[in-house]
Amino acid sequence: MAVEQSNYSEENIRSLDWKEHIRLRPGMYIGKLGDGSSPDDGVYILLKEVLDNSIDEFVMGAGKTVEISIRDGEVAVRDYGRGIPLGKVVDVVSKINTGAKYDSKAFKKSVGLNGVGAKAVNALSDYFMVQSVRDGQTKVARFEKGNLVEDADIKESSLRKGTKVVFKPDAGVFKNYRYVKEYVEKMLWNYAYLNPGLTIVFNGEKIYSENGLKDLLSDAIDSPVLHDIIHLRGEDIEIALTHSERSQSDMYYSFVNGQHTTQGGTHQAALREALVKTLREFYNKSFDASDIRDSVVAAIAIKVIEPVFESQTKTKLGSNDMGPEGPTVRTFVNDFVKNKLDNFLHKNEEIAEAIYRKILRAEKERKELSGIKKLARERAKKASLHNRKLRDCRKHYNDEKDSEHRLSTTLFITEGDSASGSITKSRNVNTQAVFSLKGKPLNCYGLTKKVVYENEEFNLLQAALNIEDGLENLRYNNVVIATDADVDGMHIRLLLITFFLQFFPDLVKEGHLYILQTPLFRVRNKKETIYCYSEEEKRAALLKLGVKAEITRFKGLGEISPDEFKYFIGEDIRLDPVMLSKDATIDEILQFYMGKNTPKRQEFIIENLRVERDPTEDEEKAILDEDK
């Protein structure tokens, strides 16, 4: 068979300008796009890129306050730093590889060293405005989708020096996006923890930290701890450390030059290694590394000259060196921990004794569970070979080769053959996997982790996620509970959330757990079909298509055909994140919803009860007439 040859000439060669390339390949610059339902979605990266510049000003000793407001999808960031040099305002936000951070004298240990961040925000925004104030003068420039639409003259100004950026993400790129307040607040608190003395004002609310990473751990841990937080500071490094009474896995918060490295990297690996080495030498015992790390909750922040990250979104440190002439990150962290932690434990015998008892207890529990764990792993391995509970995907979360696909990896947990069959047939086989439950899972509230290995469903789910030893090797970025929107489906959701909060709370805390929203109704006529997720959306669809339109109510996921399901788990997927309130601890939440507090729960249900039914045809007409 002859193969047609395509022409390859000068006409095929095309050069893209800076904004065209960013808009054509946004994933190269900001990771995945998303709609804001996940903390690593692109709209938060846009905010972070602008904020990093303001934080760098504070680090350099210029400006102690940063103001942020987010309203109706529009973001405004105002700092009181030195201000962008007025003659370079347009260049700094529209020319790749332009910025002061290439000059090590101006920014010694900065996050944004590639000259891309603000340009990516500009190119991916419907509207972008930058204003600089310095030396009694101001300069304003405005852009639309990266195109300069106003380049104002420099004018006299009585405003305080600094920079203001206002932008609105492009709704065509970030479809149906939203900013989740809790995600933004978490990001801003991290900036405050890493920069004691910095005041951040978010929509009028003050965010401030005096004790750095010690405050971070105090706020993050919502269960009892074995000892007071150990807080160690040095030049270019800060560490906070304690042990949770509740969790058995270790948990780390790691940062480089103010950037939250959610995927860890060389500095986090060095801390884990240093803890094992230091405690073995301190107690003069060759404890197993897993027993030493058991229940550790720690935070580490280091400053590196010209850090190298493994992706544009800077979530994992790849640098091996602290600087061109400095030690390796591993040596630097090891030496610091060995010196400072060893000295601390010698001076604080009660804490040293508490850690020692904790290690012995972990050792005992590990040996008691070793037999059960071995059998559980064998069962999980056999199950993965001989049944189809898990329909896996081709890429995984810990696959570093393709960051955009890696961040999009999803495991749908569903119940019943029909529902899992529909999702399996309509999913993206590269990034979406399906785990099928067999009936309702066990209510594990108050049970020990032993049940995870003894219960077949829990054991296989744990193996599918690969989270037995923590989130370090989590195989899917998004863990999505996909159940029917009826009483049984809601109960299954509650039981699964209980499982994760009881044994793997970090999965929830780190923003990996979601609920899949699927449409309740399909409204269609001969020309158009509209899927509706609420009564309000159904009313709007009827108003558009007319009362004679056909209405179908989906009573279960199994009733949605694979051809339709692909729309609900594709680009327009709707996910509700499972988030923890700061007002209650995990123990209090589980006790209220799953414990034996029946009167309080009954009172809550009665106060929040809503009885819904489908309106009759006459009622539908009346509603539409009223809307008209």
Flag the least confident range among 197-201, 269-273, 463-467, 571-575. 571-575
pTM: 0.78
Select, from the ranges 162-176, 375-389, 409-423, 606-620, the one with the highest average predicted confidence (pLDDT).
162-176
Query: What pLDDT sits at residue 6?
Result: 47
Residue 470's region, left for phi above 0, alpha for psi from -120 to 50, else beta, is left
Cα–Cα–Cα angle for 6, 10, 16, rounded to 5 degrees: 100
Give the model's pLDDT for residue 198. 95
Long-range contacts of 55-59 (CB under 8 A, 24+ apart): 55/111, 55/191, 55/195, 55/198, 55/258, 56/101, 56/107, 56/110, 56/111, 56/112, 56/258, 57/81, 57/82, 57/162, 57/163, 58/195, 58/198, 59/109, 59/110, 59/195, 59/258
From residue 577, give the alpha-carbon distance in Å to each of 106, 309, 512: 40, 27, 8
Question: Which of 191-195, 376-380, 608-612 is the most confident on average?
Answer: 191-195
β-pairing, 529-532 vs 199-202, is unpaired
As a whole number, mean pLDDT of residues 563-573 equals 87
Partners of residue 232 on adjacent β-strands: 239
Provide mean pLDDT across the span 273-294: 95
What integer pLDDT is reported at residue 308 of this predicted model? 76
What percentage of the chain has pLDDT greater than the value 90?
47
Say which residues have a Cβ less than 8 Å from residue 39's Cβ, sequence separation at least 6. Answer: 180, 183, 186, 187, 511
- Contact in structure between 499 and 444 (CB atoms under 8 Å): yes
Band the pLDDT of 312: cuts 50, 70, 90. Answer: low
Q: What is the pLDDT of residues 356-398, one digit of tens each?
A: 999 999 999 888 888 887 877 777 777 665 566 889 998 887 7
577 versus 556: the higher-pLDDT residue is 577
Q: Give the pLDDT mean for 564-577.
A: 88
Residue range 469-504, pLDDT digits in tens: 778 788 999 999 999 878 888 899 999 999 999 888
Ordered by where they begin, the domains of the chain are 18-207 (3.30.565.10), 213-366 (3.30.230.10), 388-518+556-595 (3.40.50.670)
Residue 519 has pLDDT above 50, yes or no: yes
Q: For residue 525, with 0-12 CB atoms within 10 Å meaning exposed, 13-18 middle and 19 or more buried, which class applies? A: middle
Cα-based angle 58, 63, 64 (whole degrees, multiple of 5): 80
Query: How confident is the model at residue 473, as a pLDDT?
Result: 83
Please write the tens of the pLDDT for every residue from 25-69. Answer: 787 778 788 889 888 889 999 999 999 889 889 988 888 999 999
In this structure, of 101-110, 138-147, 569-578, the range with the lowest mean pLDDT score is 101-110
Q: Which pLDDT tens digit goes with each residue over 101-134?
A: 444 444 455 554 444 688 999 999 999 999 999 9
Q: How confident is the model at residue 422 (pLDDT cuts 50, 70, 90)?
A: confident
In angstroms, what CA-CA distances link 299 with 192, 224, 487? 14, 17, 41
What does the CA dihedral 569, 440, 496, 531 come to, rounded to 10 degrees? 30
Backbone angles phi, psi at 154, to 5 degrees: -70, 130
Q: Residue 184: enclosing H or E segment and its boundaries? A: helix 181-194
- Give the mean pLDDT of 141-163: 94
pLDDT of residue 221 exceeding 50: yes
The pLDDT of residue 614 is 56
User: Which of the four pLDDT bands, split at 50, 70 and 90, describes residue 612?
Assistant: low
385's tokens: 């070979």
pLDDT at position 403 is 60
Pairing verdict, β 529-532 and 478-482: unpaired
Q: Tell me, what's the pLDDT at 470?
A: 79
Q: Which residue has the tokens 């009665």?
A: 606
pLDDT number for residue 29: 79
Highest averaged pLDDT of the listed ranges 101-105, 153-157, 614-618: 153-157
Range with top average pLDDT, 90-94, 341-345, 525-529: 341-345
The pLDDT value recorded for residue 129 is 97
Rounded to an integer, the average pLDDT of 598-621 is 63
Q: What is the pLDDT of residue 609?
A: 63
Q: Give residue 137's pLDDT.
A: 96
More confident residue, 124 or 582: 124
Contact 429, 396 (CB under 8 A): no
